[in-house]
Amino acid sequence: MGTLSPLFNPYILMKTSEIKFKVTVDENNLPHKIEWDAPDTGEKSECRSAMIALWDSNENNTLRIDLWTKDMTVDEMKKFYHQNIMTLTDTYVRATNDNISAEKVRELMRQIGKETGVLK
């Protein structure tokens, strides 16, 4: 008989963790300040932009929350976007082992990065 995975072991207690976002908006509901807090790790900071993607299995679709403050510069947004696509590609490889598609995305993003000035 095989052993139980820790995910299904009834003797292991599960815990809940939280990551909190607090968004301060102006009179036009535009983000003025974005703060985040992850109490379990002791991390707490302010940021200029956040991209949150959630998978809705009922709808078989991605839900997104994209926020940035009015202080975020265009150059910062270009770099933020570029870095997000590159790290999403790394995550994609870890989840699928599809290195061929990932390399196509990386090559495209290297080209875009050079054209936009994000990469030298």
Write the pLDDT tens digit of every residue in 86-95: 999 999 999 9
Q: Assign residue 97 a region: left if phi > 0, alpha if psi is -120 to 50, beta otherwise?
A: left
pLDDT in tens, 56-99: 999 999 999 999 999 999 999 999 999 999 999 999 999 999 99
Instruction: Calculate what percentage of the chain has a pLDDT beyond 70.
Output: 91
Give the N- to C-terminal CA distance of the chain in Å, as an integer: 57
pLDDT in tens, 16-38: 899 999 999 999 999 999 999 99
Distance, CA of 68 to CA of 91 (rounded, Å): 23
Distance, CA of 88 to CA of 95 (rounded, Å): 10
